[in-house]
Amino acid sequence: MTGHTIYRSSSYAPVNIAVIKYWGKRDPTLNLPTNSSLSVTLSQSDLRTHTTATCSASYTSDSLLLNGKDQDISTARTQACLRELRTLRRKLESESPHPLPELSSLPLKIVSENNFPTAAGLASSAAGFAALVRAIADLYGLPASPTELSRIARQGSGSACRSLFGGYVAWNKGEKDDGSDSVAYEVAPASHWPDMRALILVASAEKKDVSSTSGMQTTVKTSSLFPARAEQVVPKRMKEMEKAIQGKDFETFGNITMAESNSFHATCLDTSPPIFYMNDTSRAAIRIVESLNQAAGKVVAAYTFDAGPNAVIYYLAENEAEVAGTFKCILGKKEGWEGQRGKAVTAKKELNGGAKVAAETLMGGISRVILTAVGDGPMRSEEHLV
């Protein structure tokens, strides 16, 4: 083998957890959603994908390795991302006044690693596609903005577009048929409201009932309540939520977050056949949050559930003792408290009566916790996996 140059670039990208949910596509090929959505980007010290993109004439074909396992790179979604990125590189190559290496025609070898257990059932595809797009864009030296890259990442996995930004991020559903205006934008950076914390309760591993891709299509086709959600409920909440974030109004942020999660799962239940992502453990988490808010006389904690039974509980740093402390009291023996953030939490000693039954259910159904916070967007890394 002759010494072909290996070009490479690495990037970290974050996980995001929506507070206004993406559920339903108006165009399944382009991943264009029926409604806008909004998420909080989580800290990459706790949850991130690390991806190294390399290309070389010595490679025989494109390949993707995730956590040491070969992935199928021929899927329409991954191909859409690679095609878009190569097109941008080709444009760069052809328009450059000085000759550039023709990276657009070289096979890609992409290597990815998550710093969190894949089995946790966390939406890793968002961080995965964001890191892939960001790493290849850097490899290709593309001048593309995060907005432009979000348009590309969206075609890999809808919610991935929101992982191109840090902080509080919206995904505008867009109006155009070609999806060119269906992109993410920053509502506020993490630094605007840095006190946002997220406690993730990972439910004991169970295979997902219905994949979100097929589930959301069935909902669009069969739920008679879904149109009201997409056309009326979400547009109103998007405006209210952006305002709540601008004004650091946790009460409104929390109320909308909880109502949104319930609205999304309600349309899942209204699907034929019905889709259930929450289970009795999820409901126990809701009961604990309700009792926390009742005891505080205001909203100090807000739950949200994606397409699975895991609970994500948002709260502000000032209420850590009350919120995370209560969950540490219940779940202190589970994995996940041993990190720096977890150690800093003092387990509360008492739980009120109503929450006790829920606490037992929770203890039986949760396998680990992840304590994290709002964080920044993708970052270039000099640490390479290849």
For the CB of residue 94, give the shortest distance to a copy of itself in the complex, in Å.
Answer: 51
Position 92 contacts a copy of itself (CB under 8 A):
no
- Sign of the dihedral defined by the CA atoms of residues 170, 76, 7, 52, in that order: positive
- Residue 205 found at the interface with a copy of itself (CB under 8 A): no
Rg (CA), the chain: 21
Q: Is residue 365 within 8 Å of 281, Cβ to Cβ?
A: yes
**Binding segment toward a copy of itself, per CB under 8 A, in 90-98, 149-157, 253-261, 340-348:** 253-261
Position among 259, 295, 347, 351 found at the interface with a copy of itself (CB under 8 A): 259
CA 46 to chain centre: 13
Q: Rounded to the nearest whole angstrom, what is the least distance from the CB of residue 9 to a copy of itself in the complex? A: 45
Q: How far is the CB of 262 from a copy of itself (least distance, A)?
A: 5
Answer yes or no whether residue 323 interacts with a copy of itself by CB under 8 A: no
Half-sphere exposure of 59 (CA within 13 A, CB side): 20
Residue with tokens 């001048």: 143
Q: Does 353 bind a copy of itself (CB under 8 A)?
A: no
- Would you count residue 283 as binding a copy of itself (CB under 8 A)? yes
DSSP state of 227: H
Query: Should residue 233 be labelled a site residue for a copy of itself when binding is judged by CB under 8 A?
Result: yes
The answer to whether 115 contacts a copy of itself (rule: CB under 8 A) is no
- From the list 33-41, 49-57, 276-284, 345-353, the region that binds a copy of itself by CB under 8 A is 276-284
Length of the chain: 386
Shortest CB 384 distance to a copy of itself, Å:
44
| Cis-peptide into 273, omega within 30 deg | yes
Cα 260-264-265 angle, rounded to 5 deg: 120
Q: In this structure, how many other beta carbons lie within 10 angstroms of the beta carbon of residue 162?
A: 32
Give how many residues touch a copy of itself by CB under 8 A.
27
Q: Does 265 contact a copy of itself by CB under 8 A?
A: yes
Closest CA to 71 of 124, 148, 3, 11: 124
Residues lying near a copy of itself in the complex (CB under 8 A): 224-225, 227-229, 232-233, 255, 258-259, 262-263, 265-267, 269-274, 276, 279-280, 283, 286, 290
